[in-house]
Amino acid sequence: MPNNSGTVLGLFAGIGGLELGLKHSGFQPKMICELEEGAQAVLKHRFPEAPLIPDVRDIKEVPPGVKVITAGFPCQDLSSSGLKVGIKGEQSFLVDEVFRLLETTDELDWLILENVKFMLHLNKGNAMCYITSKLTSLGYNWAYRVVNSQGFGLPQRRHRVFIVASKKHDPRSVLLSDEHGIDPNKHTSTDEIPRGFYWTEGRYSTGMSFNGIPPLKAGSTIGIPSPPAILLPIGFAGTPEIRDAERLQGFPEEWTKPTESVCKPSHRWKLIGNSVSVPVAKWIGSRLISPLDYCDKNDIELKKNDKWPMAAWCMGGKIKKSSVSEWPIKKKFKGLDSFLKYPLKPLSIKASNGYLSRAEKGNLKHPVGFIDNLKKHVMEIS
């Protein structure tokens, strides 16, 4: 098995969530690739030891000594809030560059891919079919799992698909061997706890999250930052401060500050929304170092027209469904009521009234006291 001296080639690195998590586990970045200017500024500052290559197409082969490739390949074409054109969209097709590079090395121990959960369902799961079939054709065993960041001590309900593949090792021992299976935020309904929600929604969805926030997003389709709102039980609504937003992804405070040298400060929201939760990447890295045996006795074969489940694996060409949950480890939940360090930025009257108006026209259910508390917030700041 690879040891902690393994080196990493980080593709589509963003602000380095996967790379930082693996570094916490002992893996050192050898080369990082990222095209976006704001993210580049962060990577240059935070990983000065690793050469930065802007365009993945300029990497002709995997550098000698690389044992792990990470790739949080672009999700704009796969996201439920994006273009939904699928794996062959203008952005997401770049995953083909990962497969090209895989053919240039025999040294690799592990490949780690990450993307949005919606990828399992978009166009009947065509993206997953494409990716997994390519891995199989290249001789890789693989496993994937939907993981919720909320199970790692972060009060953010964030589902992402992680795929681990290897020619040499059993990927199930990394991604599927840990199982807690219990939502750390199980609760009794109450109006005495903060609730996160999407203030831009209200008619068809809310993103409502008990003592946490819905997933941080890159922003609106026209590029306007739209961090989720938090309604406190005292009748005050606001959005997180940028340093708390970084912490909600597991980064140190001011991790994205270097981007302000080339972009507007608001660009930091996009970078954070696009990133990978660091504690999840750290967990994966720890299992690369210390894998555990996986018991597959209850797993069943996935048939041709079955929907992609929350977790599955393929060893030797046969795909099976795993029964593991989105909660791999036991981690005490820390809610917004104890997590936030900085004052919320008050949600504007316009934004608050916009949500209330849409909620009134829609038929979505809201927690007891939620609408009244949001109206109280409007009255207090008027």
Residue with tokens 């929304």: 273
How is 99-140 classified by DSSP, letter by letter?
HHHHTT-S---EEEEEEEGGGGTGGGGHHHHHHHHHHHHTT-
What is the number of helices (H) and of strands (E) in the chain? 11, 15
Q: Which of 75, 129, 263, 295 is catalytic?
A: 75
CA distances from 305 to 135, 145, 200 (A): 19, 19, 36
CA distance to 20, 94, 145, 283, 336, per residue, from 11 (Å): 13, 10, 20, 19, 32
The neighbour count for residue 368, using CB atoms within 10 Å, is: 11
User: Count of alpha carbons within 13 Å of 38, Cβ hemisphere only?
Assistant: 18
Distance CA 13, CA 33 (A): 6
Q: How far is CA 348 from CA 239, 253, 353, 357, in A?
A: 10, 25, 8, 14
Radius of gyration of the chain (CA): 21
Inter-residue contact 158 to 185 (CB < 8 Å): no
- Rounded Cα–Cα distance for residues 284 and 21 (Å): 8
Whether 75 sits among the annotated catalytic residues: the reply is yes
Beta pairing, strands 318-321 & 311-315: antiparallel
- Residue 65, Cα to own-chain centre: how many angstroms? 27
Query: Whose CA is closest to 103, among 169, 167, 54, 28?
Result: 167
Q: How do 311-315 and 141-148 pair as beta strands?
A: antiparallel
Neighbours of 335 (CB within 10 A): 18
Sorted by sequence, the CB contacts under 8 Å of residue 193 that are 6+ apart come out as 187, 210, 211, 233, 335, 336, 337
Residue 114 · residue 18 · CB < 8 Å: yes
**Residues designated as active site:** 75
